[in-house]
């Protein structure tokens, strides 16, 4: 294919994307990821324990600075091509993995001048498609980084060179394996509602797949599926509530692989194993999240560094 040079894509720095949010956006996100009426540290901005939920920056790539609905088709069509990559089919892309490292607590209101700095950090081709990895850093108007994210998207069927090309220059820490010899240290069950995707999209991802059942039917999902990043938020809440005393500031690093779709209304079960100390006084955990009824794993290779609530401190 002409213009294809996978090595050239790796390291490519994209144009900065301005972003902004307010406290209301943070509250809308919290209910999008299933926060309940009693989770005051997530949903009641007047509570002393309230803080922005730390995974919030994952929505900013879609949201940008707008306070209104994002035209998803236009956003996709307007995406700039990365030099060296082939033109990729937006209908055959699946979100493969997502991580976030919290470097500084987010303010409740951004104000102007914040942006996402994005670069390509990896391209891997195999028999079934092309994996494209990106690093995104959220910076304030002075350029101070607040969060560092890695995401990977798998482009099914993309075989631009027909080789096993692979180059990666950065990436997040990987999960330790689930211990085979012991039960999980925490098991957290939660219920998504039939309206979960309708709520989650209000944070910026207005992909029609998550509201129009005919699109999911055509793609073989049998109807609407929940945003992968909504399930991502559900599992983050599970860790924060079970391990971090429901203090949003307890979570410092959090990563998963997306392994199967979830439908709005499915019940989720997150199983968590403590696997060692993490950096800066945190605890490292490995986790998986399943659809309770089918037993199918929807989030795999989960890893987090989280500050454990010390007993007797409440």
Quick one: which of 73, 87, 168, 296 contacts ligand NAG (CB under 6 A)? Answer: 296
Contacts with ligand NAG in 236-275 (CB under 6 A)? 261-263, 266
Site string for ligand NAG, 108-147 (x = CB under 6 A): ------------------xxx--x----------------
For strands 93-102 and 251-258, give the pairing.
antiparallel
Q: Where does this chain touch ligand NAG (CB under 6 A) — which range of 32-40, 207-215, 279-287, 292-300? A: 292-300
DSSP class of 171: -
Cα 108 to Cα 45: distance, rounded to the nearest angstrom: 9
The yes or no reply on residue 160 touching ligand NAG (CB under 6 A) is: no
Give the position of tokens 């055509």: 218
Which class for 245: exposed (0-12), middle (13-18), buried (19 or more C-beta within 10 A)? middle
Assess 294 for contact with ligand NAG (CB under 6 A).
yes
Q: Is 164 in the site for ligand NAG (CB under 6 A)?
A: yes
Q: Count CA atoms closer than 13 A to 5's CA, side-chain side.
A: 6
Q: How many CB atoms neighbour CB 275 within 10 A?
A: 18
Cross-strand partners of 48: none
Question: Do residues 112 and 137 touch, judged by C-beta distance below 8 A?
Answer: no
CA dist., res. 199 & res. 193, Å (int) = 10
Residue 96 interacting with ligand NAG (CB under 6 A): yes
Q: Is 220 in the site for ligand NAG (CB under 6 A)?
A: no
List 66, 89, 163, 219, residue binding ligand NAG (CB under 6 A) = 163
Determine which residue in the list 197, 286, 291, 299 makes contact with ligand NAG, applying CB under 6 A. Answer: 291
The number of residues that bind ligand NAG (CB under 6 A) is: 16
Between 103 and 297, CB nearer to ligand NAG: 297
Q: Name the residue nearer to ligand NAG (CB basis): 25 or 125.
A: 125
Q: Is the separation of the CB atoms in 73 and 137 below 8 Å? A: no
Which letter does DSSP use for residue 13 in this model?
B
State the residues that interact with ligand NAG by CB under 6 A. Answer: 96, 126-128, 131, 154, 163-164, 261-263, 266, 291, 293-294, 296
């Amino acid at each position: 294919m002409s213009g294809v040079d996978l090595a050239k894509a790796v390291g490519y720095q994209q144009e900065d994307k301005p972003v902004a949010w307010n406290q209301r956006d943070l509250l809308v996100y919290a209910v999008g990821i299933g926060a309940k009426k009693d989770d005051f540290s997530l949903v009641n901005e007047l509570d002393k324990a309230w803080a922005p939920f730390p995974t919030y920056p994952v929505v900013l790539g879609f949201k940008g600075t707008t306070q209104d609905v994002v035209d998803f088709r236009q956003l996709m069509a307007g995406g700039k091509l990365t030099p060296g990559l082939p033109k990729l089919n937006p209908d055959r892309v699946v979100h493969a993995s997502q991580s976030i490292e919290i470097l500084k607590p987010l303010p409740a209101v951004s104000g102007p001048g914040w942006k996402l700095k994005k670069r390509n950090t990896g391209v891997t081709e195999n028999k079934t498609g092309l994996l494209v990895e990106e690093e995104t850093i959220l910076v304030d108007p002075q350029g101070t980084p607040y969060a560092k994210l890695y995401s990977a998207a798998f482009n099914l069927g993309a075989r631009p060179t027909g080789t096993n090309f692979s180059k990666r220059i950065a990436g997040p820490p990987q999960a330790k394996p689930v211990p085979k010899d012991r039960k999980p240290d925490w098991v957290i069950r939660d219920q998504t509602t039939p309206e979960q995707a309708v709520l989650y999209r209000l944070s910026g991802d207005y992909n029609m797949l998550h509201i129009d059942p005919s699109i999911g039917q055509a793609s073989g999902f049998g109807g609407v599926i929940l945003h992968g990043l909504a399930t991502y938020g559900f599992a983050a809440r599970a860790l924060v509530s079970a391990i971090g005393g429901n203090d949003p500031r307890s979570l410092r690093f959090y990563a998963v692989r997306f392994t199967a779709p979830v439908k709005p209304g499915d019940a989720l079960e997150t199983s968590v194993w403590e696997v060692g100390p993490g950096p800066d006084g945190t605890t490292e955990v490995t986790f998986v999240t399943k659809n309770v009824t089918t037993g199918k794993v929807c989030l795999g290779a989960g890893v987090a560094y989280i500050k454990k609530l010390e007993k007797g401190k409440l």
